[in-house]
Structure 1
Amino acid sequence: MHGATGGGLKDTLDAHFPVTVPDIARVRNLYETLLRYSPEYEIEPCLAESWERNADATVWTFSLRRGVTFHDGRPFTADDVAASVLRMCDPEQPSAYALTISKIIDRESSGALDEHTYRMVLTSPYAVLDQTMANYTLGMVPADYDPDHPIGTGPFRYESFVPGQRSLFVRHTDHWERTADFEELVILDFADDAAKVNALLAGQVQSVDNLPRYLAGAIEEQGAHALVSESGGWTPFTIRVDQEPFSDVRVRQALRLVVDRQEMIDQAFSGFGRVANDLYAPFDPAYIGDELPQRVQDIDEAKSLLKQAGQEDLQVELVTSSGIGAGAVESANLFAQHARKAGIDVRVNKVDSSIFYGDQYLSWPFAQDFWETRMYLLQAEACALSDSPYNETHFSHPVFEQLIHDAQREVDDAKRRTLLQDAQRIEYEEGGLVVWGFKSHVDAYSDFVTGFEPVIEMPMSGFRFNRASPVDEA
């Protein structure tokens, strides 16, 4: 049994639309993608054994793994890939990480070449399609897929589901890679960190993600083990650039300058992380966050910027939730303390996870969120374009967007790197994200299970529970 952080009544089993941490844990076990990321964050085969593209990245061909079956025993074929791609690229409701593909896929020309070969034809070059197809939200499903009765190829198959509470999956005995050692996988939603940790220590669950970091040492003395993994995950403050007073870039820069980033790492993350510089994707070869001037707390400059903007007596509400993950509420409270030094009155509003990720999600003027490790281009597509599905800041910058679109089409790695670095400079100067640190994943598991290892991409060994095994008590 696994204890997952957050969740709510809008939890889903849909392969292509997960949002919360429990959603992600579910889709990682029910479904699989054509490609995936290794523990070291390198793209590797999954349901596709190999892939290739033509010279201008408009035609991509995937050779599928043989012997893969769905949970109901049907063979997985290229026709299923075609159906999955059409669903995730539905122009009316594309999956968040298939939005770019949905705009450029040639639906008539794309499809199965034979039972084990799928070809995607694009109307415009897309140089990082392999990175996209490794995203966990783009799982393969059968043509008659019904998310209320989900069928995938993953190591566990659906049995029952109560949104916001409990999911029960059973072992997929014909899984192609590694049949799970556990007969069942139960995922329990926890809105409260204390309840989650108590469930682990009481033996009610065998693993938890997002362990409160201050417990990482103490948990070892209580019959459990901490699992710490370096990552590019981040818990930003999100500022809507289209609403006053945040539409003034001087106000946004002032909010960035009140943050004591190292204190955030030390206290909100209990030291399990590293300082960031208002840019994401530190594992991307194009990342320049370490090359730009490192922002540090500068209260005098923050006050000066606020005075220039006519906001000397700035009052704001900061919305947070424990469902965002470990360290979110703590960092929100710290931010309020830091901001007070510059004369900013910050009222922290802690709401339930179901409210935070409910109807107002992506509309909060000043809030937080969580993101896991991604490459820069894919992350920008998800959160920084005017039509991005998760544009929390409502950032809309024509020059930035042109750089991103040019980078999508650029097949030369060096030229694409230059375009992405120019885009990063714009976000650094004008964006609405306060990226103060990169978190280490800190999870925990009991003495009765083994097989977990550090994974860069996401918590709890990437939620691949078929790699865990019960400890032999003999």
Structure 2
Amino acid sequence: MLIRTAAALALITTTALAQQTDITIGMQLEPPNLDPTGGAAAAIDEVVYANLFEGLTRFGPDGSVQPALAQGWEVSDDGTVWTFTLHDGVTFHDGTTMDADDVVFSLDRARAEDSTNAQKALFADIESVEAVDPTTVRITLAAPNGNLGFNLAWGDAVIVAPESADTNATVPVGTGPFAFAQWVQGDRVELTAYADYWGEAPALTAATFKFISDPNAAFAAMMAGDLDAFPNFPAPETLSNFEADPRFTVIVGSTEGETILGINNANITDLKVRQAIGHAIDRQAIIDGAMFGYGTPIGTHFAPHNPDYVDLTAQSAFDPDKARTLLAEAGATDLTLRLMLPPPVYARRGGEIIASQLREVGIKTEVSNLEWAQWLEQVFRGKDFDLTIVSHTEPADINIYARPDYYFQYDNPEFQALIEQISITTDPAERSALLGQAQKTIADDAVNAYLFQLAKTGVADARIQGLWENAPTQANDLTGVTWSQ
């Protein structure tokens, strides 16, 4: 009797494990809205990218550009006409059909003069978008752009429907394998598997994204089993605890996140002052003190894992004496700068260290801790700041320096022409050389102080498989996630 009972218990346990098809994911930041085409916050894509919304193309876990709603495409010999063939039978979560007209609507909306898309520049080369038939879309470019497939893989380029586009911020309707269930603001977003998904159904039937801003609370929630995974874990100092616990897996990878001390170039116009700020900063001290050793020093706005990366860290090496000399030459002997910090740990902890390092060379700072919505309004949109710390997690985004109205307000016509040349260059060697020149230009101009490439440090239940190790874009893609027995 005892043997049969033990066997029965084992069977029940195994069955219970096999039946688990839901997951609870921890996130430090709550998205300000759920529309990736109408907001710049990375937290939006972390919830909806590939899960709820899809584009013509998408990023794979290795950073490759893969087919999504488009099953394939052809490019004209002169590189100006791209013809996409869509999957047939795709529906939005409200049951309406997704076809070529929705693609035309989405891309025209994203590139419109009054567009609120945070990455409107992705669509600048598009001259026209036409629906050839319900499953064929023709995109004509003003000039060749070999990066169009890459651009269309961004979360900002997902396909939305005219019927629901205006309410996607709070009630998102996409074509992905998961549909929106509810958003309990201040707590969580819930998704459920979409029964009529056009592609391969995910193994998961439900997903909850739980927002926990405090690192100590995140640690406690993982330990207590309230969360199944925290892909971007905010307390790297506790990772050793998880590594020692067989219940968990620690996942360390790379991201596209160039973490910078952003400088308002419209306020700090003197090159020597900006150079002094760079030389005042000890990158390794910030990596060790704020990120507990996780991070790679950078000297320009480019990911070190990219084959076209140029190591320019020596150009702005930690040199307090040089910083003081440059400040004296600039006549900036009594400088006070406003340092605006968003909520992420790298910003708050890193800000304390940077404020101390700047003080050592004679630069005073007035530190303000902002909530994410405040930061977006005051710093990103309002440009009302002197310094800020933020990680730019968008892939290969050095082209933001070609936008004079971007929040750090760098206006260099030569750089803008360089980025335009890169966009039409298809020869790999020539393109690599131009990208190297672009990296050096912004380093020479000390547009920002470049700190480190953000590491991806995640923690998950050891039974979970399929979470991304690296972050080629800001996403918690659950389409390939499964539970093992």
Please report the TM-score for the alignment, with normalisation by the length of structure 2.
0.86
Change (3 A) 1:283 1:56: farther
Change (3 A) 1:440 1:236: same
Change (3 A) 1:358 1:115: same
SS in 1 for 2:345: coil
Aligned length: 454
C-alpha contact 1:7 1:189 (8 A) present in aligned 2: yes
Give how far 1:86 is off: 1.6
1:2 corresponds to which of 4, 12, 25? 25
C-alpha contact 1:201 1:224 (8 A) present in aligned 2: no
C-alpha contact 1:233 1:439 (8 A) present in aligned 2: yes
C-alpha contact 1:4 1:189 (8 A) present in aligned 2: yes
C-alpha contact 1:321 1:329 (8 A) present in aligned 2: yes
1:24 corresponds to which of 45, 55, 66? 45
C-alpha contact 1:239 1:365 (8 A) present in aligned 2: yes
Q: Residue deviations 1:40-80, cap 9 Å, x none?
A: 21222222222232233321111223443322344432222
Task: Report the counterpart of residue 138 of structure 1 in structure 2.
Answer: 157
Task: Report the counterpart of residue 9 of structure 2 in structure 1.
Answer: none
C-alpha contact 2:298 2:451 (8 A) present in aligned 1: yes
Change (3 A) 1:36 1:385: same
Give how far 1:270 is off: 1.5
C-alpha contact 1:197 1:208 (8 A) present in aligned 2: no
The code of the aligned residue for 2:273 comes to V
The code of the aligned residue for 2:182 comes to S
SS in 2 for 1:236: strand
Counterpart CA distance in 1 for 2:377 and 2:185 is 13
Give how far 1:320 is off: 1.0
Change (3 A) 1:150 1:92: same
Counterpart CA distance in 2 for 1:234 and 1:105 is 28
The code of the aligned residue for 1:4 comes to M
Task: Report the counterpart of residue 457 of structure 2 in structure 1.
Answer: 442
Residue 220 in 1 paired to residue 243 in 2?
Answer: yes
| Aligned-pair identity (%) | 26
Residue 330 in 1 paired to residue 349 in 2?
Answer: yes
SS in 1 for 2:358: helix
Give how far 1:194 is off: 2.2
Counterpart CA distance in 2 for 1:18 and 1:463 is 17
Bigger radius of gyration: 2
The code of the aligned residue for 1:468 comes to V
C-alpha contact 1:97 1:132 (8 A) present in aligned 2: no
1:12 corresponds to which of 33, 38, 47? 33
Residue 80 in 1 paired to residue 93 in 2?
Answer: no
Counterpart CA distance in 2 for 1:252 and 1:426 is 14
Unaligned runs of 5+ in 1: none
Task: Report the counterpart of residue 140 of structure 2 in structure 1.
Answer: 121
Residue 433 in 1 paired to residue 451 in 2?
Answer: no
Counterpart CA distance in 2 for 1:56 and 1:411 is 11
Task: Report the counterpart of residue 68 of structure 1 in structure 2.
Answer: 90
Task: Report the counterpart of residue 267 of structure 1 in structure 2.
Answer: 289
Task: Report the counterpart of residue 385 of structure 1 in structure 2.
Answer: 403
SS in 2 for 1:327: helix
Change (3 A) 1:291 1:430: closer
Moved more, 204-213 or 414-423: 414-423
Counterpart CA distance in 2 for 1:20 and 1:254 is 30
Once superposed, what is the RMSD of the aligned Cα atoms? 2.4
SS in 2 for 1:436: strand
Task: Report the counterpart of residue 207 of structure 1 in structure 2.
Answer: 229
Give how far 1:235 is off: 1.9
Counterpart CA distance in 1 for 2:404 and 2:194 is 41
Give how far 1:301 is off: 0.7
Residue 154 in 1 paired to residue 176 in 2?
Answer: yes
Task: Report the counterpart of residue 361 of structure 1 in structure 2.
Answer: 380
The code of the aligned residue for 1:170 comes to T
Counterpart CA distance in 2 for 1:434 and 1:443 is 27
Change (3 A) 1:393 1:100: same
